[in-house]
Amino acid sequence: MSQVMPSFDALVLEDELIQARVGSSFEQNFRKLPPATTALVAACVLMHLATGISDYLLGQTSLLGVIVDARSTPTLLLFGGREHGMVAGGELWRLMSCVFLHADGLHILLNGVALFGLGRLCEAVWGGLRMSVIFVVAGLAGSLLSQAGGVELSVGASGGVFGLLGAGAVFGFKAKNQLPAGLRRIFGRGLVPWIVLNLAIGLFVPRIDNLGHLGGLLGGVILAPILADRVLPSSEASSWVDGFMGVGLGAVLAVTLGQVIRELLWVGLGVG
């Protein structure tokens, strides 16, 4: 029995239907204030305010400086900044805690805006849990490469932000034939110039930890094709995998927060 090959028009129509379905799924998932992204930005802002208040109480900054001034190195270390010797000495929790700290007002502003913008896009594609996993794993990857490269002190969410950039770019290239034109302009090639530009800036601007950026980018690139998304028809999420990731993510964040609190109590307040 002979098979009838689909016509070119039929194939085009099928592609257009898939693209319309993907576009509709993305629009349904896209939120003005996506919960996971908003929570990550809020955590960074709260830690920035906490370090500012600490410097203010120590007489090292003004009331306005709580928001805009550079944080003192002792305060950043007290709240979990990644310092090479401390991590090498066993304080591995600093690889995570440093992701939520920022050096000054401009630092938190730039990273906060980038995190919110990219987080909204990635949360629409992967959902809050998987987007958070990308951010956290990429942040850790950035800290690890920075530590391995001998960078003395680093703070900031930019490793996680680069992870979201890399994940978004990989998703765009992977799904280019299934994405409507508007989403193709955002993902894939649309993100590559931003990656190149920001890595180039890191080569010429002092105090930017480009190893942290590169590590975060690699983390996002590796995770993107592994994690199931929620917009492509061919993608299927596993509830037990999501449950495992949720437990793992919660454990990492809980241990990190516990270590920060312990450091504040034992070192900052002299308890114990």
Report the candidate in 191, 63, 59, 66 with the shortest Cα–Cα distance to residue 122.
Answer: 191
Structure tokens at 216: 């975060």
> 81: which DSSP letter?
-
The DSSP string of 128-176 is HHHHHHHHHHHHHHHHHHHHHTT--EE--SHHHHHHHHHHHHHHHHHTT
Q: How many CB atoms lie within 10 A of CB 133?
A: 22
On the CB side of 227, CA atoms within 13 Å amount to 31
- Return d(Cα 56, Cα 53) in angstroms, integer: 5
- Return d(Cα 93, Cα 102) in angstroms, integer: 17
Give the phi and the psi of residue 251 in degrees, each rounded to 5: -65, -45
Q: Which residues are catalytic?
A: 158, 213
